[in-house]
Each structure stands twice: as structure tokens, then as C-alpha cells.
Amino acid sequence: MTTPENALSLTIDGTPDFGSEVLKSLYRITGRSTGELRRAIRAGEPVYTAGLFGNDHIQVVPRLEKTADYLDSLGITFTVHEWADGAREQISIDVMRQIIQSADGEFR
């Protein structure tokens, strides 16, 4: 999966082997196939990446938030990364939400 220059991503911690119900729910939220999701989880890659400051910002950011909320509701730990100018940095979920809030005004 190619990561945009400026993005936020969610990576599931560890390599849990989720049943089909969890993968189907993640598919409905992220739009990624269950095969893609399973491969990303096993490889320690993001299950969802939302490009910021682009034309599709309004569509991808809600999916990012829903993915985080869904994983959190199941008690599944995950890591949030901010990608800025191609460099990746781990951030907290609170910082992720602050970034989203600060960007929202520019796209509505």
C-alpha cells in the first residue's frame, strides 16, 4: 500500500488471527478486502491509511475514526502513525484527533 506524503495510519499491534466477523466488519469500515487486511496484519502494516489535505479527505478521515473506534471497542491494541513529508512518527489517538480537527475546517 502506497502511503501519501501526509497521512494518518492505524496498525494493529502484534499479529492476531481474527475470525471472519472481525475481518468483515473491518472490510465494511475500511473498504479493504479481507485478504488485504489479513496480509497487512500479518506483515505489521497499516490496516488503514487516510491521506490528509487531499480531495478525498472528507471520505477517508471518517473511515479512519470508525476503524479506531471499532478496534478500541473490541479491546484490540493498535498504533497510530502520522506521515508528514514522507517521514513516519508514532502519535497518540488524542493527537490523531487533534490533527483531524485542525484539518477539518479546511475541507468543509
| pLDDT of 79 | 98
Instruction: Please state, rounded to an integer, the average pLDDT across all residues of the chain.
Output: 89
Contacts with 87 (C-beta within 8 Å, 6 or more apart), sequence order:
none
The band of 100, judged by pLDDT with boundaries at 50, 70 and 90, is confident
- Count CB neighbours of 108 within 10 A: 6
| pLDDT of 5 | 77
Contact 18, 51 (CB under 8 A): no
| Per-residue pLDDT reduced to its tens digit, 56-97 | 767 788 999 999 999 999 999 999 999 988 789 999 999 999
| pLDDT of 107 | 43
DSSP state letters, 43-74: HT--SEEEE-SSTTHHHHHHHHHHHHHHHHHT
| Per-residue pLDDT reduced to its tens digit, 11-34 | 999 999 999 999 999 999 999 999
* CA dist 89 → 4, 6, 57, 75, 102 (Å): 14, 11, 20, 23, 18
| pLDDT of 1 | 53
Pairwise pLDDT comparison (40 vs 59), residue with the higher score = 40
Contact 81, 46 (CB under 8 A): yes
Rounded distance between C-alpha atoms, residue 70 and residue 63, angstroms: 10
Q: Amino acid identity of 20?
A: S
Domain ranges of the chain: 7-104
Tell me the pTM. Answer: 0.86
